[in-house]
Amino acid sequence: MDEAFVNVWFDKDKLTDAAVDNGKDEFYSKWHDQASAKHANPFLAGADALRQLYPNLSLVGTTDYQLDILNHPGVVATPLENTPLVTDTFFRAIARGLGAKPGLLLERIHFGGFKVSFDKYEYLLFVVQYTSGFGNTIARYILHDGPEDPSRLLLLAAGAWAVQLHDEIWVFNQGYWQKDHGLWAEIQKADWKDVILKKDFKMSLQKDVYGFFSSEKIYKDLGIPWKRGLIMYGPPGNGKTISIKVIMKTCEEQGFTPLYVKSFQSYMGEENSMAEVFGHARQMAPCVLILEDLDSLINDRNRSFFLNQLDGLTGNDGLLVVGTTNHFERLDPGLSSRPSRFDRHFKFDDPDRDERVLYAKYWQNKLKDNENISFPDQLVEDIAEATERFSFAYLKEAFVSSLVGLATYEGDDKPSFGLLIKAQIKTLRKELERLAFSNNTSSTWSYTSTGTLADPVPASSTRQWYSRNALMETARPNDTNYAPVASNGRDVRVLLDTLSASVTAKKYSTTLRSTGIYGDRLPPSYRGVGAGSCPADQIDTDGDLMERIRHLRMGDQSVCEPARRNTGMFGVIGNGYPSPESRGHDADLARNA
């Protein structure tokens, strides 16, 4: 069978042995030539070509992207006349607020030769760019009439310049450390006089930050690692960010490098990003490492690795870590409570009356030279009295909106600043009350797929949330026959109380509505009437369900477990009534009894 198939195949294509042999030889020779090609190494090829062209000059080459010789301020470079200069021209937009020009045309070198002067030496510099892996590589070759040492000194100067900050801040994002001039310019506006805090609180914060850097000898004499961790926490809008800006600015002025982390997420994974962050911090120490929104940066996947880096098995001397969070309660105890990690906690809460007075006086002082604005001391007291529960952000909004409204007001009947700010405070008060009402009326409970009560979602310290255990205890009458509250806080008795109240409603009423303490917290599928009401003739409830609910509340597992196995949660179907199967099962139990 096989031979016949082969013969038919070759007969059809009319292939001869000679044709097969010739094809084999031709393909083999082509493949052998392709597979045996020379290995491509552009950097090596470039170095070899330059050695042949300039045999009497020393050669030093590099592919380190940081060693950008042409951007060093001490280098004077002139293109070589007989060497082609190939560049890639691209457009770089400029922020509209920085000037009239929409942008600049910049050049990226692909191939070029230059005569370079640095210090007292002269060099020939060749720059080439080629594709390598998933990106491009820039190779630089330095030729010098003499030994290699001057060329290496030039590279050393370029590298030192690259890692130094020049009106910039080191920012880590997407897996890379980058210099950010914009952030540096922003923090220059910050000053401690603009941070409105109580004197003792502010001095304590300043002492912990600046005292750390001046206490190296004390730490070493005591034989403890020279490292410290601070956490600033509290509801948003109360001064954490501006305090961070001032700390970054003042630490830089004192010679301690600020490092800012935006995110640990990157192409190389969060753990590698953390290793990169702490590795760079150890190189730059003594320094201050800023981690804003700790509860977002640290999660269940990366927490263990982060704690190992924070503990500094390889040494974290000179490292001050400052973290911030709006949700301190969400932090793992290993971060928030463990000694030697974040030792000091500073709560930036909504300002009390004294702090509101300080803030109003701060604006009074800023506006004292404005002849068009009257800001008497009584207005300071009035503002402080009317802004209870306002955050500093709300206070600032009241002042800014009032001043803008006053400046843009048109008409002869221009109101006073005092009237405007009081009206603005009333508007903000209504907004605050709407937010508070929304937070208090929204359910703090969620339900799992099985209908059990899930833990409430944690919230910021400015919002009022019910205590889980207290809520359950108030829902239960003082009955000593009740089984103890479950330790995990998912007590089904809350749900049973509501079901009980629901099914014992008047049987002959026209509608049946969910009542009980948590009637409004039950999802429709667990309310006795589904969407809210139903005709009385559809109500099919009697002592069976009530008896089974009583057994459940008493903790009688002989009744609970068979019912749950046969009918699901409480033997209750979707509309809140006992299923036919559960009623039959209860009848069997009664007969057996």
Q: Please give the pLDDT value at position 586.
A: 43
d(CA 167, CA 102): 24
Q: Please give the pLDDT value at position 566.
A: 42
Within 79-191, residue ranges assigned H as helices are 149-163, 181-187
Q: With b meaning 16 or more CB within 10 Å and e meaning fewer, what string describes 151-187?
A: beebbebbbebeeeeeebbbbbbebebebbeebbeeb
d(CA 24, CA 20): 6
d(CA 26, CA 45): 31
Phi-psi region of 223 (alpha: psi -120 to 50; beta: other; left: phi over 0): left
62 closest CA partner among 47, 51, 49: 47
**114 within 8 A of 123, measured Cβ to Cβ:** no
80 closest CA partner among 138, 141, 147, 157: 141
d(CA 388, CA 402): 18
Q: Which distant-in-sequence residues (6+ apart) come within 8 Å of 341 by Cβ?
A: 229, 307, 310, 311, 334, 335
**291 within 8 A of 297, measured Cβ to Cβ:** yes
Q: Please give the pLDDT value at position 337.
A: 84
The residue type at 128: V
H helix count then E strand count, the chain: 21, 15
Element holding 16 (H helix, E strand): none
Q: How many of the other CB atoms lie within 10 Å of CB of 119?
A: 11
Give yes or no for a cis peptide into 286 (omega within 30° of 0). Answer: yes
**Cα-Cα-Cα-Cα dihedral sign, residues 561, 567, 573, 577:** negative
**558 within 8 A of 592, measured Cβ to Cβ:** no
Tell me how far CA of residue 381 lies from CA of 355, 362, 388, 391, 395, in angstroms.
11, 13, 12, 17, 14
Element holding 131 (H helix, E strand): strand 121-132
**459 within 8 A of 436, measured Cβ to Cβ:** no
Q: Please give the pLDDT value at position 206.
A: 96
Residues forming a β-bridge with 200: none
**284 within 8 A of 170, measured Cβ to Cβ:** yes
Residues forming a β-bridge with 144: 58
d(CA 445, CA 467): 11
Backbone torsions φ then ψ of 125, nearest 5 degrees: -120, 125
227 closest CA partner among 237, 238, 219, 236: 219
Residues in the chain: 593
Residues in the chain predicted with pLDDT less than 70, given as ranges, are 1-25, 439-593
Q: Please give the pLDDT value at position 36.
A: 81
pTM: 0.66
**How does pLDDT run across 26-84, given as a tens digit for each residue?**
777 877 777 887 778 899 999 999 999 999 999 999 999 999 999 999 999 999 998 99
Tell me how far CA of residue 143 lies from CA of 61, 314, 386, 555, in angstroms.
9, 40, 74, 89
Q: Please give the pLDDT value at position 442.
A: 53
Q: How many of the other CB atoms lie within 10 Å of CB of 440?
A: 12
Report the greatest alpha carbon distance in the chain: 113
456: DSSP letter = P
**57 within 8 A of 144, measured Cβ to Cβ:** yes
Say what angle helices 303-311 and 270-284 make with each other, to 10 degrees.
Answer: 20
Phi-psi region of 143 (alpha: psi -120 to 50; beta: other; left: phi over 0): beta
Q: Please give the pLDDT value at position 16.
A: 52
d(CA 456, CA 536): 35
Q: Please give the pLDDT value at position 446.
A: 38
Residues forming a β-bridge with 259: 170, 289
Triad 306, 311, 315: Cα angle to 5°: 115
